[in-house]
Chains A and B, each alone.
Chain A
Amino acid sequence: MSRVFLTWAVTHSVIEVQSEDSVLLFVMAWTVTEIIRYSFYTFSLLNHLPYVIKWARYTFFIVLYPMGVTGELLTIYAALPYVQKTGLFSVTLPNKYNFSFDYYTFLILTMLSYIPLFPQLYFHMLRQRKKVLGHTQDYSKVE
């Protein structure tokens, strides 16, 4: 969901943002993450999951996730002045549907939503890591 938003609603729609370094940052983070993640799913479905893939899936995120989030936030931030200037995706009063939408404010609220969401997701992944990778260490201790 947030992928589609960043790709279409921000980067594609605000052309001026496309040359920003932050775009490179999140595209790199997403690319590496997805290659590992889908390999993980594929091998799992084939019932032949090499440990290194499982390890990568639950370890690389530690760096990739903050990297991706930084890229995303910087990109949205870079888009703000252009959105404000052009009124992109915004609807103003008066109109016959008596409705308004300010995309600029919406983007700011989206950025703020990262504050509660990011820690929750990050710590969830860390807990998953302990659960999934943790017990293999116990087995080696038993031996």
Chain B
Amino acid sequence: MKHYEVEILDAKTKDKLCFLDKVEPNATIGEIKSMFHRSHPQFYPARQSIRLDPKGKSLKDEDVLQHLPVGTTATFYFRDLGAQISWVTVFLTEYAGPLVIYLMFYFRVPFIYAPKYDFTTSKHWVVHLACMCHSFHYVKRLLETLFVHRFSHGTMPLRNIFKNCTYYWGFAAWMAYYINHPLYTPPIYGEQQVKLALIIFLFCQIGNFSIHIALRNLRPPGSKTRKIPYPTKNPFTWIFLLVSCPNYTYELGSWLGFTLMTQCLPVAFFTMVGFIQMTVWAKGKHRSYLKEFRDYPTLRSPILPFVL
């Protein structure tokens, strides 16, 4: 069996960083990253981007050396992706925050509202309902992070955790402040409005969960395969006929329900900002599906049926 030689150059300076001889032809990029890590301990594999061309796309960990367009002396270019943090860590931190923060406002912990309100409870039943819904939503997200989602990437750049936590924790505090305020005004149309909002919220929570389960089942444990999602026996997944990312569609629906339930402008802002971000993600995902699969269903829109 002929062995390969691998040299790794810095993508920007073109300096020779590492030379590996006697590399097996069936070695993967992942294994090469581990070897590079040994000579450069500060660059753990997750922060390495290895490519064939200094300005090209990153090669995947699963790519096999002998199947790449390289000679027996392969030249790769390295770029440092910066400090990395695992997706699971980021998700758990950014979701635990809103759960705890909202409850602090709900229980009117001191130094938030005037001292005479410390540890009092709201007299409006919609406030209690809102707390249950908000808490349920984030507990659901935490459990899904631990037991449901199958992540394509292990890590993301470290600075994302500060950006993401500021977003989630900041908005949670802003919404919770008003909903749990002693001067909170309940919805104009009273019980009818709250009941309708609750139905919308629960429907979309179940829908969102159904989509997460359906997506999980597309992917065997520990793998990173990508397949076209299709409707299953669960009616909540039938929306796949019209939409590429129904998890985002249902998420929007949940927050619209919560906005209606609380009739609170900051919640409306949060819903709108989230919708904008999810639309960006949905369009990207939709484009990837179209690029990767020739037979991708043409009726589907990224996030809103026929509209967006």
Contact = CB atoms under 8 A, between A and B. Distances in A.
B265 interface: yes
B181 interface: yes
A122 to B, nearest CB: 25
Question: Which secondary structure dominates chain A's binding surface?
Answer: loop
A94 B183 contact: yes
A95 B178 CA distance: 11
A93 interface: yes
Contacts of B263: 96-98
Contacts of A98: 178-179, 181, 184-185, 262-266
Interface in A110-140: none
A86 B172 CA distance: 30
Contacts of B265: 97-99
B5 to A, nearest CB: 43
B68 interface: no
B188 interface: yes
A100 interface: yes
How big is chain A's contact interface, by range?
under 10
B20 to A, nearest CB: 41
Interface in B249-265: 262-265
Nearest to B187: A96
Contacts of A97: 263-265
B266 to A, nearest CB: 6
Interface string B180-212: 010111001000000000000000000000000
Interface string A86-107: 0000000111111110000000
A94 B184 contact: yes
Contacts, number: 29
A100 B181 CA distance: 11
Contacts of B184: 93-94, 98
A97 B183 CA distance: 11
Contacts of B183: 93-94
A106 to B, nearest CB: 14
B264 A93 contact: no
Interface string A62-98: 0000000000000000000000000000000111111
Contacts of B178: 93, 98-100
Nearest to A93: B183
A96 to B, nearest CB: 5
B196 to A, nearest CB: 17
Given A98-B263, A98-B265, A99-B264, A93 B188 contact: no
A93 B183 CA distance: 6
B208 to A, nearest CB: 25
A95 B185 contact: yes
B266 A99 contact: yes
A36 B266 CA distance: 43
B134 to A, nearest CB: 15
Given A98-B179, A99-B178, A99-B265, 17 more contacts: A93-B178, A93-B181, A93-B183, A93-B184, A94-B183, A94-B184, A95-B185, A96-B185, A96-B188, A98-B178, A98-B181, A98-B262, A98-B263, A98-B264, A98-B265, A99-B264, A100-B178
22 contacts: A93-B181, A93-B183, A93-B184, A94-B184, A94-B185, A95-B185, A96-B185, A96-B188, A96-B263, A97-B265, A98-B179, A98-B181, A98-B184, A98-B185, A98-B262, A98-B263, A98-B265, A99-B178, A99-B264, A99-B265, A99-B266, A100-B178
The 6 closest A-B pairs by CB, nearest first: A99-B265, A94-B183, A93-B183, A98-B264, A97-B265, A98-B178
